[in-house]
Structure 1
Amino acid sequence: MSYLQNFRLDGRRAVVTGGAGGIGAACVDALLEAGAEVVIVDFAEDSLTAAQERLAGQPVSFEKVDLTDCKAVNALADRLGAIDILVNNAGIGRQTAAEDISEEEWNQVIAINLNAVFWCAQAFGRGMVSRGKGAIVNMGSMAGEIAVRPQKNVHYNASKAAVHHATKSLAAEWAPNGVRVNAVAPGFIETPMNAFALKNDKVTSGIWLGNIPMARFGNPSEIASVVLFLASDASSLMTGSIVLADGGYTVW
């Protein structure tokens, strides 16, 4: 038995949503290095253009799709055909006090962070179930396990908690069909989404760092490494798992 070979993804096709930047881009790099062919699905035109330039010559294709549109997601799955790996990474963060969250803002966060995750899992999961194999990795958050301070974002926290439970529910339902469904729950990662605190807000970043036993923020590559593990045969006995990668934040 070759343990390292279990991490290889040669001959497999993967879809990475929100794969044009941040953690998603690191996931794309990890899957490519392991031998997969990757389809990047994103909605930001500028990010897609930059990703096309960065990954020129790689076995990558690009799709601009509104993932909150169930019909558009189903059409994408039909168009792409057999997919072995789905990385449900697309998401947004908003910070607003609970008493001030508008209906529009609440619906936007839930639509992108939760509904889109399910539409993609459902659309690509159908093919996986029918073929009797597949791996889905959802992007959760430690905020799906705890209420992180000092930011006020009940809608974000609720959406990620729902992603965690949807992951477990799908895992239980599809395990007999050979489809594994797991999630990664990152802590504070150095991405554009957290730039407001990492670069400009010493109070917020100070509180964050003070609550991380490792006393540092994570790098997108560290989350991508966990995604690669969960997407590969190295994690063949795992389904329904929520893997925390938070520098120890949630142990206190």
Structure 2
Amino acid sequence: MDLFKLDGDVAMVTGAGSGIGQAIAIGLAEAGADVACFGHASKGGLDETAHRVTALGRRALVLTGTVTSESDLARAIDRVEAELGPLAVAVNNAGIAGSEPAETLALETWRKVHEVNVAGVFLSCQAEARKMLARGKGSIINIASMSGTIVNRGLTQAHYNSSKAAVIHMSKSLAMEWADRGLRVNVVSPGYTLTPMNKRPEVAEEVKIFKRDTPMGRMAAPEEMVGPTVFLASRASSFVTGLDLIVDGGYVCW
């Protein structure tokens, strides 16, 4: 349907080198967008993502930097606009995770998770909005987690959970600030997803529990986050802002 097409749009995805970010970048290209792939140079994967975007007949741009750097983000978005065109869609996916009991959690670790997951998302939104608000048009989608709504059974991750809860409420706050200026801000909150991190042999037993605890009896594929993101990026969601779209196989219903 034409409502879901992104033909002629320019999108940027942070954390586009692997997992959910890579799947979304490719999915946006499948929907017709040209895609800028932003990520940390040391983590790799960005060139592969860009290659898969161009294989779909869309333009791609590889951008390296960190979401905690205002200057990195500003330079990246200036390049997007100079080389691809006006930024219409931004997906802020970059983030980090971890698990550690609260009573032994180092303040440095807490701060690092919140710096990337909360400050990094805010700085990304801010840099993107400065371009979009000037044109009175744009869609920002922040990737949070069902862990921003519930507490995962058996996982000690107060720092991660609280960071994702902050992303959800921050996104709603930004959505309300910018609602009458043509810029929509929404959230996709994945449940347990079979990313490379969850394919490691050392987490095999945890993965069994994740599947058991999900009503649909399995984990999501990263590609299953594409449809919800394309919906929120497209005209199909033109009257949707401030939404936290939980994609979790029913987990939060238990």
Global fold match (TM > 0.5): yes
- Give a deviation string over 1:51-73, Cα, whole Å, max 9, x none: 34544554111000111112221
In structure 2, the partner of 1:242 is 244
Identify which of 88, 92, 107 aligns with 1:88: 92
In structure 1, the partner of 2:147 is 143
| Partners of 2:131 and 2:204 in 1: CA distance | 47
1:49/1:36 CA distance change after superposition, 3 Å = closer
Number of residue-to-residue matches in the alignment: 247
The answer to whether the 8 Å contact 2:37/2:50 transfers is: no
Report the 3-state secondary structure (helix = DSSP H, G, I; strand = E; otherwise coil) of the residue aligned with 2:240. coil
Larger CA deviation: 43-52 vs 76-85: 43-52
1:15/1:202 CA distance change after superposition, 3 Å = closer
The answer to whether the 8 Å contact 1:7/1:228 transfers is: yes
In structure 2, the partner of 1:71 is 71
1:29/1:14 CA distance change after superposition, 3 Å = same
RMSD (Å), alpha carbons: 1.6
CA drift of 1:202 comes to 4.9
In structure 1, the partner of 2:226 is 224
| Partners of 1:96 and 1:56 in 2: CA distance | 40
In structure 1, the partner of 2:199 is 195
The answer to whether the 8 Å contact 1:93/1:193 transfers is: no
Structure 1 unaligned runs (5+)? none
Question: Do structure 1's residue 47 and structure 2's residue 45 form an aligned pair?
Answer: yes
Structure 2 unaligned runs (5+)? none
Report the 3-state secondary structure (helix = DSSP H, G, I; strand = E; otherwise coil) of the residue aligned with 2:66. coil
TM-score (structure 1 length as normaliser)? 0.93
In structure 1, the partner of 2:60 is 60
TM-score (structure 2 length as normaliser)? 0.92
CA drift of 1:201 comes to 3.7
CA drift of 1:114 comes to 1.0
| Partners of 1:15 and 1:27 in 2: CA distance | 10
- Give a deviation string over 1:69-98, Cα, whole Å, max 9, x none: 122212322333321000001111111111
Amino acid at match of 1:158: S
Amino acid at match of 2:226: A
CA drift of 1:18 comes to 0.6
> Kindly, what percent of the aligned residue pairs are identical?
40
In structure 1, the partner of 2:6 is 9
| Partners of 1:192 and 1:211 in 2: CA distance | 20
| Partners of 1:66 and 1:187 in 2: CA distance | 25
Identify which of 197, 206, 209 aligns with 1:207: 209
- Give a deviation string over 1:27-47, Cα, whole Å, max 9, x none: 111110111010000104432
Identify which of 7, 20, 25 aligns with 1:23: 20
CA drift of 1:5 comes to 0.2
Amino acid at match of 1:70: E
Larger CA deviation: 85-94 vs 187-196: 187-196
